[in-house]
Structure 1
Amino acid sequence: MISGANSMLAIRQFGLAALLITSAMFTTTAFAGARDDLATFTKGLKGLDGQFVQQVYDPNGKLKESSSGRVAMSAPRLFRWEYVKPYPQLIVADGKTVWVFDPDLEQVTRRPQGIEEQNSPLAALIDPSKLDKDFAVREGGSKDGLTWLVLTPKQAADASFRSARLGFGQQGLA
């Protein structure tokens, strides 16, 4: 269960080891690497809506936690991130403020969006211009029919994750 101080950690754990958005509004053509795929996907991106699976792994590569839900984004910097499993939680941002609603606690937490976006892999989609500023970016190779981009926070001490992977297929972000 996510509670109190941990609710902010949950926001920062858009810090996903793997984010898979299954139905995006945009498609992309095949390129040599995931970096090109991200650039193509986000070029002219006005919004997306889809489902996600967030998986967190321990340092040995063992699955530690899995959660899923829906995400909707609209440029610039507007999003709705809804965890359905294992615990419901709703995160909404208007470009300036992030609200986190925890139905189990019947509590809403409000924070400046800039603070919550720091070192979040979601920033790669919300504001691609910050990608190289905030992350060390490398190609992650191909696996399961996807090309992968690996993001490692440059400010590792402030991050709630070690790396995030974005997978791209023929239809864009997968």
Structure 2
Amino acid sequence: MRNLFAAVLIAVSAHSAWADGLESLEAFVKTVHSGRAEFSQVVTAPTREGQAARSKTSSGTFEFSRPNRFKFIYKKPFEQSIVADGQTLWLYDTDLNQVTARKQASALGSTPAALIAAAPDLRALQADFTLTAAPDKDGLQWVLATPKTKDGQLQSVRVGFLAGEKPASLAALEILDSFGQRSLLSFSKVEVNPSLPPDTFRFTPPKGADVIRQ
């Protein structure tokens, strides 16, 4: 899987900046029930001795409907779909014509998708993540989410919101995995609470595709 996940103004005071970041996350979860956006993703591998950092860029579209449906469509440089329909998490690699299907309930707990699209409320997030506000940076308000489960592949996630936007507008997602690989998703053309057709998150494996169920 090539692209699975395979996301400020200087604060007047640290206290007020941190409160704003957490409040933005809480407002986003409470008030943004659906969304649509375009995204670009830069994945940077950890530096190795004698080698410069390597990065890869991809782009596509993102849609979600809280609490448990979302869709990432990677369009460049390779086509790939990641769809959660409420029951199953589907991953489709177009070039390989291969589909991987996993039970959604066991796949999404401590994942970046839970932070921005799957969780119904802040309490649900706090069951899986330790949430702490981070200093504002690059015009965004940031929240650091650290998984409470230590044996996963995710080390931490930072979620960035546009400062002062109401309702809270998602702008970036920065993911650090256990191997030191960093992935930054930047969102643009964000639509808040659009009306999404019921079949938006329906996925049917293409004819002839190799389907792997886990």
Fold match (TM-score > 0.5): yes
Q: Is the 8 A contact 2:18 2:133 kept in 1?
A: no
TM-score, normalised by the number of residues in structure 2: 0.62
Residue 152 (str. 1) matches residue 152 (str. 2): no
* Matched pairs, number: 150
SS at match of 1:38: helix
Of residues 119, 123, 131, the one that matches 2:114 is: 123
Gaps of 5+ in 1: 20-29
Shift of 1:167: 0.6
Query: 1:67: Cα distance to partner?
Result: 3.1
| Aligned-partner SS, 2:39 | strand
- Residue in 2 that maps onto 1:162: 155
Structure with greater Cα Rg: 2
Structure-2 separation of matches of 1:55 and 1:150: 19
**Equivalent in 170, 173, 194 of residue 173 of structure 1:** 170
TM-score normalized by the length of structure 1: 0.75
Query: 1:34 and 2:21 equivalent?
Result: yes
Q: Which residue of 1 aligns with 2:205?
A: none
The DSSP-based 3-state class of the residue aligned with 1:43 is helix
Q: Shift in Å at residue 161 of structure 1?
A: 2.5
Question: Does 2:31 correspond to 1:44?
Answer: yes
Residues 1:63 and 1:138: Cα distance change in structure 2 (over 3 Å): farther
Query: Quick one: structure 1 residues 41 and 68, their matched pair in 2 at CA, closer, same or farther if it must change by over 3 Å?
Result: same
Amino-acid identity (%): 35
**What 5-or-longer segments of structure 2 have no aligned partner?**
8-16, 48-52, 172-214
What amino acid sits opposite 1:138 in the alignment?
T
1:81-124 CA-to-partner distances (Å, cap 9, x unmatched) read 11223322101111111111110101111110012202102212
Pairing partner for 2:88 from 91, 94, 97: 97
